Amino acid sequence: MDPLFDFTGKVVLVTGGSRGLGKEMVLAFAERGADVIITSRKIDNCEAVADQVRGMGRRALAIGAHAAKWPEIDAMLDKAYAEFGRIDIAINNAGMSPAMPSPDVTEALFDSVVGLNFKGPFRLAAVVGKRMMEGDGGVIINVSSSGAIIPMPGIVPYGASKAALNAMSRSLAKEFAPKVRVNVLSAGPFLTDIAKAWEPEQRETSTNMIGRPGRPEEVVTAALALASPHSSYITGAFYQADGGI
């Protein structure tokens, strides 16, 4: 085990952890010794990933919860703390980005996007951050998007909600310092399930510096680096894993 990325004995929570970037992060931490809590709306998918983790010899807890609804977030956290007693690393990864012309966005859709991308992550970070402050500290990683920093018509509520997430992260980093580190992992285009709706050319090329979308496993090193105890001097940071946008 590389000592810089040894998470033996750590407890990691990942929302949206049953697929895409979240699943890759779950497996990466488990491979490096962590026990994990996997949560998403579909408990069966969470259990499938949990079984993979248990196959590595690590403990895993699957919890079905909607990451935008505060009562479900609170109940999920109660289960997590009852099982493990603590959370060392919390990753707010769940999100949604429906493409739609702005005049066609309904109030219900707007509320759903903001709820999942900002309102829910705020609640989780606030509650977990307080518990970390009362304990031995910890790390919170909020997964954002390049859509928060570049013009992207057609997904305006998404970009705006991720921009709010970015601002929230810096404020919480200050509020919970020095025991809790809070950072942003800003993801660019990745070939997750959402890419199935892209045009074939979009799945092959990109306007970023690398010239292509990322493979899901390529997000792993960013998450590991931000979570590592050896990154103890990094907080309030905006870490881009986007191929150079």
CB 71 within 8 A of CB 47: no
How many domains is the chain partitioned into structurally?
1
CA distance 15 to 153: 27
The reported pLDDT for the residue numbered 69 is 98
Q: Could you say which residues of the chain have pLDDT below 70?
A: 195
Q: Which amino acid is at 131?
A: R
Task: Read off the CATH number of the domain in which 61 is found.
Answer: 3.40.50.720
158 as an active site residue: the answer is yes
The reported pLDDT for the residue numbered 203 is 85
pLDDT tens track for 75-94: 999 999 999 999 999 999 99
CA distance 129 to 230: 19
For the record, the structure tokens of 128 come out as 């977990």
pTM, to two decimals: 0.96
The reported pLDDT for the residue numbered 142 is 98
The reported pLDDT for the residue numbered 195 is 66
The reported pLDDT for the residue numbered 199 is 79
CA distance 161 to 221: 25
The single residue of 81, 158, 233, 239 carrying the catalytic annotation is 158
117 secondary structure, DSSP code:
I
The residue range of the domain holding 81 is 3-241
Name 37's bridge partners.
Answer: 13, 61
The reported pLDDT for the residue numbered 197 is 72
Handedness of CA 83, 90, 61, 10 (dihedral sign): negative
C-alpha distances in Å from residue 101, one per residue of 104, 117, 200: 6, 19, 21
